Amino acid sequence: MAGKTNQPFITDDGSSSLISNKFGEAYHSRYGALEESNHVFIDAGLNYLLQSGRQQINILEIGFGTGLNAVLTLLAAQKSKVDIVYTGLEAYPITIQEAKLLNYPSLLGINEQEFTQLHETDWGVQNSLHDNFRFTKEQVEFEHYKNVQTYDLIYFDAFAPSIQKHLWNFPFLSKIYKMCNNGAVLVTYCAKGSFKRALKECGFSLESLPGPAKKREMTRAHKIGH
């Protein structure tokens, strides 16, 4: 598969996604990339924390992928005026050419540059992409990431447990737990029983929430202070 591109396709809500050439798996739900990202990460994660009146939110994304979660968060930061410090981890980045095939700018009513800048910025360098949105992306295997700050919100958007099993088990999740501030939230599309048991073993408390289109449940986990 080396050298092959990730294949674009249109999901059921009209938004683009890609099929990974490395894993043979779609980056988003086939029933709606935009709907899934808004439902799982923005509504259940970011908007949920914004209700608490926080003035700054530090976000870690496990699986930067197409950049859809990041651009939605950038737009939310502009609207809410809350300071967002965003770190996206990606071991296998898509190309600029692949990013330009995605139709998010037209669907979101933004110019292409507002989206592609997320892919064009240098790795490992913090960029101020808006007055209240600081963005860093790290090209690293998730399990090898060494954080320099702690986080209020985790977007856990790795490929499914059937593809990247080790990321959904206790050893990696316990590392994520230690990166979280007290009161932090982790949100993910996954509701697999073994994953939820591992989260509980780490110390998270869990909520099972209605999932995005065609999916019964998703998971929101909380780190309660010790």
Q: Does any domain span residue 28?
A: no
Q: Does any domain span residue 89?
A: yes
Q: Please tell me the predicted confidence (pLDDT) of residue 90.
A: 97
Q: Does any domain span residue 39?
A: yes
CA–CA gap between residue 42 and residue 77 (Å, rounded): 11
Tens-binned pLDDT, residue by residue, of the chain (226 aa): 345 789 999 999 999 999 999 999 999 999 999 999 999 999 999 999 999 888 999 999 999 999 999 999 999 999 999 999 999 999 999 999 999 999 999 999 999 999 999 999 999 999 999 999 999 999 999 999 999 899 999 999 999 999 999 999 999 999 999 999 999 999 999 999 999 999 999 999 999 999 999 899 999 999 986 5
Q: Does any domain span residue 2?
A: no
Domain count, the chain: 1
CA–CA gap between residue 37 and residue 15 (Å, rounded): 11
Work out whether the CA dihedral 72, 73, 74, 79 comes out positive or negative.
positive
> Residues 67, 101: contact at Cβ < 8 Å?
no
CA–CA gap between residue 25 and residue 142 (Å, rounded): 18
Q: Does any domain span residue 179?
A: yes
Q: Does any domain span residue 180?
A: yes
Contacts of 77 (CB under 8 A, 6+ apart): 83, 84, 130, 132, 133
Q: Does any domain span residue 11?
A: no
Length of the chain (residues): 226
| Backbone torsion region of residue 152, taken as left when φ is above 0, otherwise alpha when ψ lies between -120 and 50, otherwise beta | alpha
Residue with tokens 């933004």: 110
Identify the three-state secondary structure at position 86.
strand
CA angle 14, 18, 21 (to 5 degrees): 160
- Amino acid at the residue 88: G
- Amino acid at the residue 23: F
- Amino acid at the residue 62: I
The token pair that represents 59 in the structure block: 């976000």
CA–CA gap between residue 33 and residue 39 (Å, rounded): 10
> Residues 82, 155: contact at Cβ < 8 Å?
no
Q: What's the CATH number where 159 sits?
A: 3.40.50.150
Q: Does any domain span residue 7?
A: no
HSE (CB half, 13 Å, CA atoms) of 114? 17
Q: Please tell me the predicted confidence (pLDDT) of residue 1.
A: 37
Q: Please tell me the predicted confidence (pLDDT) of residue 4.
A: 73
Identify the three-state secondary structure at position 120.
helix
Furthest-apart CA atoms within the chain: distance in Å: 48
- Can you give the residue range of the structural domain that contains 194? 34-96+109-222
CA Rg, the chain, in Å? 16
